[in-house]
Amino acid sequence: MTEQILTEPEVLVPAEPGPGPAPAPAQPKKSRRPLLLGIARWTAAVLVCGGVGAGAAMGITAMERTDVPGLATESDGRWEYPELALPALPEGALRPSSDGNDGEIHHADLRKLLLPAPVGATADPKLNGGWAGTDSYLALLKEKDRGAVKEYLADSALRHVAARAWTTPDGTRTQIHLLRFSSVAYAEAYKDETMGEVAQFGRLPLGVEVSKIDTSVQDVDVPNLSIYAYGEEKPYGPEQTRWAYIQAGDTFAVVTQTRKGGTLTVPFQQTVALQAQLLG
C-alpha cells in the first residue's frame, strides 16, 4: 500500500470489505482505534493545501480484490459507488472530529453527508437526498412505537432530518436517515435510549420481531464515532432486515436494508462503512 496525497476536491474511494466477521463481542462498543481493520484497509492522507474553510479531509485507498485472502477477482458482491467527496465547510469551521471542535458539530450541509446511491440503483423519489420530515424516520418503526419516539425527538431538540433511499437490481432496498441534534449530548442521549430499547426488543424496525447483534461491521473502525448493527433473527417472513446505528457527534444515522429471501452481508458492510466515513 502506498500513501496517496489528494488535492481538492477531497475524494473517498469506496471501501473494500474483508473476508468475514470476527467473533462477536458481548456488547457493541465504541472504538477509537486507527482506521481500519477487517472489512477494508485504508491509508489516511492529510490534505495539506486547500481553499479557505475546506479544512482537512481523509483520503482512502482500498485493497485490490487479489490482496484479500479468500476473495476471487470476480465480483464479490460489492456495489459500485460514485467517487465520494467530503463537502466544503463554511469559512473557519472544523470537521466534527477535529481538535478545537469540542462540540463535535457537523458544520457541513447534512444532505451532502448522505451516501449517494450506487451505480445501477433506482432512487426513491420521496427520499432523494433532501430534507425529510420526522415522519419518514418514524415510518421505519412499528406503529406502536412512533408516538413515543416522536415526542422524544421533539423534546431532544432535533434540528434536521435528511434521507436517501434506493433499490438495487438484486432487490435490496436501502434507506439512510441522518438526524442532527442541537448538541452531541442530545445525540448521545438518543443513541443510549434507542440502544436500551433495542436490547429489550422494545423498539425494532417495522416487521422485525427478534433481533441479534450483526458482527459483520464490527471492524468498521472510524475514530470518534460509534456503530451498532443488528439483523433480523430467523425465522423471518418473506423479507429480512438488517440495520445499523451510527452516532457521530451531533448526528445520529440509521442505515436500514431489507431484501426478499435474506439480506446480503457484503453490501451491508460496504454501505455502513462508507456512511460512517462521511460522518467521521
- Report how far residue 174's alpha carbon sits from residue 263's, in angstroms, rounded to the nearest whole number: 10
Closest-CA residue to 181 (of 155, 209, 207, 142): 155
Does some domain include residue 120? yes
Please name the residues in contact with 105: beta carbons below 8 A apart, sequence gap of 6 or more.
96, 184, 249, 250
Structural domain span for residue 183? 65-279
Chain centroid, CA 184 distance in Å? 17
Tally of structural domains, the chain: 1
pLDDT at 75: 64
Does some domain include residue 28? no
Does some domain include residue 46? no
Could you report the per-residue pLDDT of 38-97, keeping only the tens digit for each? 333 333 333 333 333 333 333 333 333 333 333 333 467 899 999 998 888 888 788 887
Does some domain include residue 42? no
Does some domain include residue 175? yes
Q: Is 151 exposed, middle or buried (0-12, 13-18, 19+ CB in 10 A)?
A: exposed
Could you report the per-residue pLDDT of 223-273, keeping only the tens digit for each? 889 999 999 998 888 999 999 999 999 999 999 999 999 999 999 999 999
Model pTM? Answer: 0.74
The one-letter amino acid code at 85 reads A
Does some domain include residue 19? no
Contact by Cβ (8 Å): 59, 47: yes
Does some domain include residue 25? no
Contact by Cβ (8 Å): 229, 39: no
Q: Which helix H or strand E contains 147, and what residues bound it? A: helix 143-155
**CATH number of the domain that residue 194 is part of:** 3.40.1000
Contact by Cβ (8 Å): 118, 150: no
Does some domain include residue 3? no
